[in-house]
Amino acid sequence: MAAGKEWVLNNVRNIGISAHIDSGKTTLTERILFYTGRIHAIHEVRGKDGVGATMDSMDLEREKGITIQSAATNVHWKDTNINIIDTPGHVDFTIEVERSLRVLDGAILVLCGVAGVQSQSITVDRQMKRYNVPRLAFVNKLDRSGANPFRVLDMVREKLRLNAVLVQIPIGLEDKLEGVVDLVTMKAFYFSGSDGEVITEKDIPADLADKAKEYRAELIGKVADFDEGIAEKFLSEEDPSVAELKAAIRKATIARQIVPMFCGSAYKNKAVQKLLDGVTDYLPNPTEKDNFALDAKNAENQIKVQVDPAAPLVAYAFKLDEGRYGQLTYMRIYQGTVKKGDFIYNARDGKKIKVPRLVKLHADTMEDIEQASAGDIIAMFGVDCFSGDTFTDGNTELTMTSMHVPDAVISLAVAPKNKETAANFSKALQKFRKEDPTFRVHRDEESNETIISGMGELHLEIYIERMKREFNCEVIAGKPQVAYRETIGAVTEFDYTHKKQTGGSGQYAKVVGKIEPLQVEEGKDPKSYEFVDEVVGGRIPNEFIPAVDEGFQEQMKKGPLIGFPIVGVKVTLTDGAYHDVDSSYLAFKIASMAALREVYMQAQPVALEPIMKLETVAPEEYQGAVMGGINQRRGMIQGTETMEGNVTITAEVPLTEMFGYSTDLRSATQGKGEFTMEFARYAAVPRNIQEELHKKYLEKRAAENK
């Protein structure tokens, strides 16, 4: 029986498909579903049939022609069971990529054969590196004018610093694309029939023989660096067998030493089947990718999970979805087995839950199953939890490490249009918060408004639109508010005594020390704060030191300059005084809060704004207009690149200047320009803007205090 289970695990692949927006990920997934017999007709993303791609099951996705939520499906290719997650390429939905990569064993990085490595390809690659995900690359759109897979290969090596190597070269390019040459078997494959379903194997065309030999030699040379058997044959100029070469490529790919690159065109139905063979041949099964959990019993030490159906259950909820039948929880099972009717425990709060229904997913349809084992990706109904929760069978105290959640950069004040829909409004916010960790909701105490925060304008727009459609709740949204920060520019000493005498015991606390700018390492998050205790001789009793730290942190949530959180400050507490009767934890907390307020404006405070990395692509004739538009928005242009009649302009622009950019870009380029942007860093705002922000903040405070 164990051997049977082993065989099943060896034939499982959990993969994701990720890329820059519009590289053809969803189109590729549609072809994979067709060739594996999952669907019987191909639909396009912006198809004339009005059906839309299978994996884009939300109405909004079909209207906008983009993928918003990662969708899961599972297919069978030859003997292999493949769980696939199709993820969005738009930077506003980056959490969807994060949560998918967190649970996957391998990935396909889709690259456009014309544009090559684009801004979002770099972000996706960084996310794959963060979770140590082995990958294949698929150079898509080779049927398009200007397609060049060899240039894309150079870009992948240069821009992504990946040891990429071609395992195929195309037969023809642009409108002459017919198939691919497989450099492992040294055979040519042609794809014909109305949907590319007829595969013909032939000898390599004479005009490609030398090129194929050259790239095969490069492939063997790269693999020889990581495999002694291949290295020996390479040095003695012997040709390795197909089986030896495949095994060596697999080993190097799983070790993330090389990235095999495939070629084709999903839209023209060319070479997708050979990519599926590559998934089977080169990407890891669940036993070949190391996954780690934290042991609650043992100081949260990392423990490698055992991919064993007989081990205690450890499952990770990586995504929530409110479906027709209630909350659907997507789970990756790392170890153990779960059956319908089992009791499972949420490691976060210890809640015991009965598993009412287990399903295998296929976009928005599902199949009921009785049980699922280690290595599988499934979904459960009726399990109330948050994204990122770990479930066990109660016999283990392991929790999976959580995924990286980026900080929000934009906020909006929202309110329901009609009082009658207020209940739906709060229901919607609660639901979205549970499903998306980057969607944050809080109440502004001063203005009494509900504030939603997220990753970009489109991110929040989609949620407002979903409230209207899914919850029948029209929303009024205020002006977008940028997530500014404050910091200080000079070392300033504080010496503050807090005294309050009321009936009975009073309050007394004295704190002395200095605040100074905290040197943050290049590339580190500016959300930094450091507290140093240098009090000697018991001038402040030890039990009150945490109160001082807490007081400073509390005060830093809202700075006196523009009312935003203070970052990048080091507080050193050097002296103080206390009273035997009147001193308390609260007194020291109040003293430290007041101390910071008192000296803050002397410490040369600086307002910081989020700077976005902007990449704009437009036809060359509009280059001047696009660059002019970026300069008007206080943008710093960092580079331009011209390719096939289009210019790509990269720049850094303050987020506050980016509202309405999509409308301006459309009118400046007659609708032909497009852009992507993502958070880059925080930087000081110009002095005149800081003064304006400070003035506005003081006016707001004065109005509230009336």
Question: Does residue 365 have a pLDDT over 80?
Answer: no
Tell which wins on pLDDT, 672 or 542. Answer: 542
Residue reference for tokens 């423990």: 303
Q: Which DSSP state fits 404?
A: P
Following DSSP, what letter does each residue of 670-696 receive, concatenated?
TT--EEEEEEEEEEEPPHHHHHHHHHH
Sheet holding 314-323, edge to edge: 352-354, 343-346, 390-392, 314-323, 326-335, 377-381, 357-362, 365-369
The angle that helices 228-235 and 242-254 make with each other, rounded to 10 degrees, is 130
**So what's the pLDDT on residue 588?**
93
**So what's the pLDDT on residue 64?**
45
Distances (CA, A) of 568 to 81, 85, 424, 485: 49, 39, 40, 10
Kindly state the average pLDDT of the residues 299-319: 81
Which phi and psi angles does 657 have, rounded to 5°? Answer: -90, -5
**So what's the pLDDT on residue 403?**
59
Cα–Cα distance for residue pair 517/542, rounded to 1 Å: 26
517 sits in the region (left: phi over 0; alpha: psi -120 to 50; else beta) called beta
For the chain, the first-to-last Cα distance in angstroms comes to 77
Tell which wins on pLDDT, 56 or 485. Answer: 485
Distances (CA, A) of 624 to 498, 619, 631: 60, 11, 11
H or E stretch including 106? strand 106-112
* Closest C-alpha to 435, from 323, 340, 345, 350: 323
Kindly state the average pLDDT of the residues 338-348: 87
**So what's the pLDDT on residue 88?**
54
Q: Exposed/middle/buried for 249, CB within 10 Å: 0-12, 13-18, 19+?
A: buried
The percent of residues above 90 in pLDDT, for the chain, comes to: 23
Question: Does residue 53 have a pLDDT over 50?
Answer: no
Position 464, amino acid: I
3-state SS assignment for residue 35: helix
pTM of the model: 0.67
**So what's the pLDDT on residue 97?**
63
Question: Does residue 511 have a pLDDT over 90?
Answer: yes
Q: Which DSSP state fits 227?
A: -
3-state SS assignment for residue 618: strand
The DSSP bridge pattern shows strands 481-482 and 410-416 to be antiparallel
Residue reference for tokens 């030490």: 301
Which of 257-261, 428-432, 576-580, 654-658 has the highest mean predicted lDDT (pLDDT)? 257-261
Cα–Cα distance for residue pair 525/437, rounded to 1 Å: 18
Q: Which DSSP state fits 160?
A: S
The total of other beta-carbon atoms located within 10 Å of residue 535's CB is: 20
**So what's the pLDDT on residue 61?**
42
Q: Exposed/middle/buried for 367, CB within 10 Å: 0-12, 13-18, 19+?
A: exposed
Following DSSP, what letter does each residue of 472-533 receive, concatenated?
---EEE---EE--EEEE-S-EEEEEEEEE--SSS-EEEEEEEEEEE--PPTTS-S--EEEEE
**So what's the pLDDT on residue 704?**
74
The pair of three-digit structure tokens given for residue 202, joined into one six-digit string: 């032939």
Q: Which DSSP state fits 135?
A: E
**So what's the pLDDT on residue 277?**
92
Kindly state the average pLDDT of the residues 75-83: 86
Q: pLDDT of 515-574, one tens digit each?
A: 999 875 554 555 578 899 988 888 888 889 999 999 999 999 888 998 888 988 999 999
The angle that helices 242-254 and 272-282 make with each other, rounded to 10 degrees, is 70
362 pLDDT tier (thresholds 50, 70, 90)? low
Question: Does residue 457 have a pLDDT over 80?
Answer: no
Kindly state the average pLDDT of the residues 9-19: 84
The pair of three-digit structure tokens given for residue 561, joined into one six-digit string: 């300059």
Following DSSP, what letter does each residue of 347-394 receive, concatenated?
TTT--EEE--EEEEEETTEEEEESEEETT-EEEEES----TT-EEE-S
Kindly state the average pLDDT of the residues 363-385: 80
Sheet holding 179-182, edge to edge: 168-171, 179-182, 187-192, 198-202
Return the sign of the alpha-carbon dihedral for residues 379, 380, 386, 388: negative
The pair of three-digit structure tokens given for residue 276, joined into one six-digit string: 């599926």
The rounded mean pLDDT for the chain is 82
Which of 316-320, 372-376, 626-630 has the highest mean predicted lDDT (pLDDT)? 626-630
635 pLDDT tier (thresholds 50, 70, 90)? very high
Distances (CA, A) of 457 to 60, 299, 437, 452: 16, 41, 17, 11
Cα–Cα distance for residue pair 130/256, rounded to 1 Å: 12
User: Please, are residues 578 and 537 in contact by the beta-carbon 8 Å criterion?
Assistant: no
Question: Does residue 67 have a pLDDT over 50?
Answer: no
